[in-house]
Structure 1
Amino acid sequence: MSWIDWAVVVVYLVYIVWDGVRLSKHSGKVEGYFLADRSLPWWAVGLSVMATQLSAITLVGTTGQAFADGMRFIQFYYGLPFAMVILCMTAVPFFYRAKVFTAYEYLERRFDARTRTLTSFFFLLSRGLGVGVIIAAPSVILSIVLGWSEAATVFAMGLTTTLYTMAGGVQAVTWTDVKQMVIIFVGLGVCLFVILSKFPAGVAFTDALHLAGAAGRLTTVDARFSLQESYTLWSGLIGGLFLMLSYFGCDQSQVQRYLTARSVNEGRTSLLMSAFIKIPMQFFILLIGVLVFVFYLFERPPLIFNRVEAQRVERHRTLDYQRLSAEYEAAHAARERAAIEYVRALRDASSSDSEHARSEYLAAERAFEEVREKGLEAAKVESGNRSFTDVNYVFPTFVVQYMPVGVVGLIIAAIFAAAMSSISAELNALATASVIDIYRRHFKPEAADRHYVLVGRLATAFWGVFACIVALYSTSLGSLIEVVNRFGSFFYGSLLGVFVLAFAVPRATGRGAFWGLLLGIVSVWIASRYTEIAFLWFNVIGCAVVVIVGTLLSLTDKKVRARSF
């Protein structure tokens, strides 16, 4: 990177850390540190809700996912608007009026202390793993740009964010989220403009869409009903609905956002803001990944985007790598010619000629992908990791190699902004649940606010280090956007089931909720281990098992605790 790019990144990092620490003066009380005194406006809460979900995984993993698989991932979010409407009518008023600090605190009032503790424990475990993946995404960027090891970049990112989160609490998290969302939107807009400007002369945006569509990269609705397919209309509407209900309704990192709002109505408005903006924003990010695919039709991409693994293969298989590279270069040249001919045929030739050109283009695309797959297979063998993929390296490689001076720094700052906004929110939520649900409830129920704030800061530091350790192992697990949602799907459906029992089953008891939750987690593990069911359906399975088991066990209890809110 040039010194201008470095200046952009450094100025951003220094400012955001300073701004977060500056807000620590508002965090001396427990309610101020963990809930910002329930005083934040709806638009700030709404942006914070979006920023918490819009991690660097979204920019790095989703664009890489779109490069490899097209727009199909957008179906993941089709259940989101319905989930937000349901939560606005149920979870927001329940939690807000109960004056709780955490979603799990409410469960003790409804059931008992052990149900609260168990759900909080599973949240801590799932979010601790999830935030590790969130930290891993920007570490990929830094390792490419700086040539550092991923371990060094993981701790640089994770501990920097931990610093201002420890100091400022949720107040710092929310207001830095607002500023970071502005940087993200600007960065994405500039990125799209630069990609389009780098297409060859004579290739317009509409031509790019034709090329992407012919290669199957523009599918946004797959109406097949299959439990084995990860992204279909039905997995998004059903599995995605359950996941979004779980994430925004049961996950403390999101519940804590709307508990900071000034009123129930402002909390509802903040969620509806995300419901209407999230899908178009995700579509835009996926489109950038698709356009990067089109760009690489005319500019030869690396055989293996992960530079370290490419060097390993080249070093250990020199002759094979040279032969494969020559084959790859020839396949790319053939694909480029076929793509250009297809664009010309679309504009100038008859329908039959365009169909022939399309067939030639698709044949060249398949031949190219076959050669690239050989390279990835060699990387899998040399790395010893059969699940190796380089999709997380596609977008950062493109940014560093082809973006102009200054824009590289801006895009990297946007990725940092996405990462830090999510990391800080998750760490703050982990600290809140650790202090309120575990420490204050079981170890020291009576202490001064200053003591709990101190413990909250120490908990933030602990989870920051834990997440960094998880991040060291995350980049080898596949597409980061899928990894984080797989982690969540092991727990989310079952947690949702507990809250369904609390809200919708008057006769549900603590014993039913506790054992239902345990059996729900076990059922998801069995489904993941012994079936080919796609991960989005885990949320449905977990929720269904908890509700059914919890209801049946509750009916065997002689005394049913009255439902209380």
Structure 2
Amino acid sequence: MLNILDFGILIGYVLMVIGVGCGAAWFQKRKAARLGKSQDDGAYFLAARTLAWPIIGLSLFSTNISTVHIVALCEEGFRSGLAYANFELAAVFTLVILAVFFVPFYLRSNITTLPDFLEKRFNRNCRDFLAFISIISAIFIHIGVSLYAGAVVINAMLGLGTEVAQLMPTMIAIAVATGLYVVVGGLLAVTLTDAIQTTTLLVGSAVVTYFAFTKLGGWNALHDSVGPHMISVLRPSGDFSGMPWHAVVLGYPVIGIWYWCTDQTIVQRVLGAKNEDHGKAGALFACFLKLLPMFLFVLPGLLCLALINNGLLPELADTKEAFAHMVMNLLPAGMRGLIVAALLAALMGTIAGALNSIATLFAFDLYKRFKPGTSDKKLVHIGRAATIGGVILAIVWSPIIGQFDSIYGAIASMICYISPPITAVFMIGIFWKRATAKAAAITLWSGFAMGMIVFALDLFKEHTGWSMLFMHAAGMLCGICILVMIVASLLDKDTNTEANLKLVWDSPMTPLRIKGAPGLLNYKFLSILALVVASLIYFVFRAPSAEKINAWKIANPENAAKIEAHIHPAPEAP
């Protein structure tokens, strides 16, 4: 249980974040007035396009990492070792794609939303589709799931119940506290508080990892306890984790490009950059931050397993409580309050980013379409109203998440089934001049329909017999969407205009010829460095040979038996 010191740290943190967020409103109004501008020049939705690369990178990372990630990745670390670190490491490659291939077009076209970009490249139909999908995913995935998972963990740490009725006050309190500074301060409030929250999150997670490592006795003790296979990232075919290397290769580029390059909630931070160099450097700074979750979020779950197997921690009743179990059993008073603050930081960061994106999408892509004469000042008010509406819908939806068997699995599968057509249309759209607007619209809507059919087959697989891994399904669906778009474009009359084709690269090498910023912030240097570091981590944590696994089993027979029972538990008695 948390004591008075823990509660003091937690309450102080929440008040600080809300104060900074609300203060952002005063700051941006004063700066706009000094420059002779008004808030309708993009200050509310895009922070007046004044964001520097450190803030962009921290905000990208904070919005991505939610309580769901911390808790679910720790759970997956406990269950299957480092296999699910692929979702973090592989993000480096798609963030490089964002920086090199997408940021120049996004900033040069002076767009406010990504649906706006899709309309400039294709047509209004495509814009409507992406706006619809972006709002739905923000409410039901980014906010709804985060609220539920966060409330479960925080209630558990506070000693409260986790029934729906007991979770509801916590979800409402979190949503209201976050919505307050988002409604008042806009994107600047989101990015400033993200910087604070990211720091808190990383420090808190590092504290848990340090205490676990210290108690266990270091890396060699971990290796002896769980074996080389559990410490590997890339796994062979048929691996018990359900995450073999070919599933990562086929599926992650599809969901990664959708998430990091085309999702409004994420990319809006880049759209607020002061210039192209800062936008690129911010995305690449996030690359290096994405190297940390493997060690700070996934690894602690594996440490928890090793500690329990060595009798250094009590048995775990539910794998979903792995992170909370370590916090409550390893950390001293005061530290627990810091960790709860870190969890709350991740939760508020994700919700804040999604709420601001909902406001921007609803105001610019939906409301302004039907009332094009709406003043920018009124659009700010409309955006704030949409933020409040998004909060209410997310709170109503959140308890339904409890009906899924696995929260993380539900999120991953949903993303795998909605992302293929969007990834296909964006990638073909910026690299192939012959791609037509009609073909793009056909691909988006038909791909969405196919995705929903496959999602239903997977959701009810006990009755349908569906057995394909969701990452394989993502690759298959994206391949079909690419084929549909190519065939539909060739069968359609080329309707591209000169304005459309300004948003298409002459060749994949063209963006690499852009000179970029001088020195260490040059996007080419940062891209190569990030890719090299990520590749080295993959190499170091590659799948061990059968000889190494057998040698470990011989040297540690008792631990090997425990891991075998953990990987392949005995079936429950009927």
TM-score in terms of structure 1 length: 0.80
Counterparts in 2 of 1:234 and 1:155: CA distance versus 1, 3 Å: same
| Aligned equivalent of 2:484 | 549
Code of the residue aligned with 2:154 in structure 1: it is L
- The one of 208, 215, 226 aligned to 1:191: 208
| Aligned equivalent of 1:22 | 23
| Aligned equivalent of 1:217 | 230
| Aligned equivalent of 1:400 | 328
Counterparts in 2 of 1:245 and 1:559: CA distance versus 1, 3 Å: closer
Compare 416-425 and 190-199 and name the one that shifted more.
190-199
| Aligned equivalent of 2:7 | 6
Aligned partners of 1:475 and 1:400: how far apart in 2?
23
| Aligned equivalent of 2:520 | none
Verify the 8 A CA contact 2:225 2:306 in the aligned structure 1: yes
| Aligned equivalent of 1:385 | none
- The one of 157, 176, 179 aligned to 2:193: 176
How far does residue 230 in structure 1 lie from its aligned partner after superposition?
3.8
How far does residue 430 in structure 1 lie from its aligned partner after superposition?
1.7
Counterparts in 2 of 1:397 and 1:81: CA distance versus 1, 3 Å: closer
| Aligned equivalent of 2:78 | 67
How far does residue 542 in structure 1 lie from its aligned partner after superposition?
3.4
Percent identity of paired positions between Structure 1 and Structure 2:
26
| Aligned equivalent of 1:353 | none
How far does residue 179 in structure 1 lie from its aligned partner after superposition?
0.8
Compare 505-514 and 241-250 and name the one that shifted more.
505-514
How far does residue 534 in structure 1 lie from its aligned partner after superposition?
1.7
Q: How does 1:52-63 map to 2 (within 5 A)?
A: 52-63=63-74
Verify the 8 A CA contact 1:42 1:269 in the aligned structure 2: yes
User: CA RMSD for the aligned pairs?
Assistant: 2.1
Residue deviations 1:448-503 (CA, integer Å, cap 9, x gap):
22201111111111111212222212244244333322222221222112212321
How far does residue 283 in structure 1 lie from its aligned partner after superposition?
3.1
Residue deviations 1:99-157 (CA, integer Å, cap 9, x gap):
00011101112221111101211121122211211122210122211415122222222
| Aligned equivalent of 1:506 | 433
Code of the residue aligned with 2:289 in structure 1: it is I
Verify the 8 A CA contact 2:9 2:341 in the aligned structure 1: yes
- The one of 281, 287, 292 aligned to 1:280: 292
Unpaired runs of 5+ residues, structure 1, are 306-390
Q: How does 1:111-130 map to 2 (within 5 A)?
A: 111-130=122-141
| 1:427 matches 2:355 | yes
Verify the 8 A CA contact 1:230 1:535 in the aligned structure 2: no
Code of the residue aligned with 2:303 in structure 1: it is L
| 1:533 matches 2:457 | no
How far does residue 415 in structure 1 lie from its aligned partner after superposition?
0.5
How far does residue 159 in structure 1 lie from its aligned partner after superposition?
2.3
| Aligned equivalent of 1:43 | 54
Counterparts in 2 of 1:555 and 1:196: CA distance versus 1, 3 Å: closer
Aligned partners of 2:238 and 2:48: how far apart in 1?
46
Residue deviations 1:337-377 (CA, integer Å, cap 9, x gap):
xxxxxxxxxxxxxxxxxxxxxxxxxxxxxxxxxxxxxxxxx
- The one of 330, 345, 348 aligned to 1:417: 345
Residue deviations 1:85-108 (CA, integer Å, cap 9, x gap):
222222111111000001110111
How far does residue 427 in structure 1 lie from its aligned partner after superposition?
1.2
The size of the alignment, in residue pairs, is: 474
Aligned partners of 1:395 and 1:488: how far apart in 2?
24
| 1:438 matches 2:366 | yes
Aligned partners of 1:190 and 1:86: how far apart in 2?
33
How far does residue 167 in structure 1 lie from its aligned partner after superposition?
1.0
Verify the 8 A CA contact 2:421 2:447 in the aligned structure 1: yes
| 1:141 matches 2:153 | yes
Counterparts in 2 of 1:437 and 1:542: CA distance versus 1, 3 Å: farther
Code of the residue aligned with 2:474 in structure 1: it is N
Q: How does 1:287-306 map to 2 (within 5 A)?
A: 287-297=299-309, 298-299=311-312, 301-302=314-315, 304-305=317-318
Aligned partners of 1:225 and 1:273: how far apart in 2?
35
Code of the residue aligned with 1:90 in structure 2: it is F
| 1:99 matches 2:117 | no
Aligned partners of 1:6 and 1:109: how far apart in 2?
50
Aligned partners of 2:89 and 2:103: how far apart in 1?
21
Counterparts in 2 of 1:57 and 1:275: CA distance versus 1, 3 Å: same
| Aligned equivalent of 2:182 | 165
How far does residue 76 in structure 1 lie from its aligned partner after superposition?
2.8
Aligned partners of 2:96 and 2:412: how far apart in 1?
22
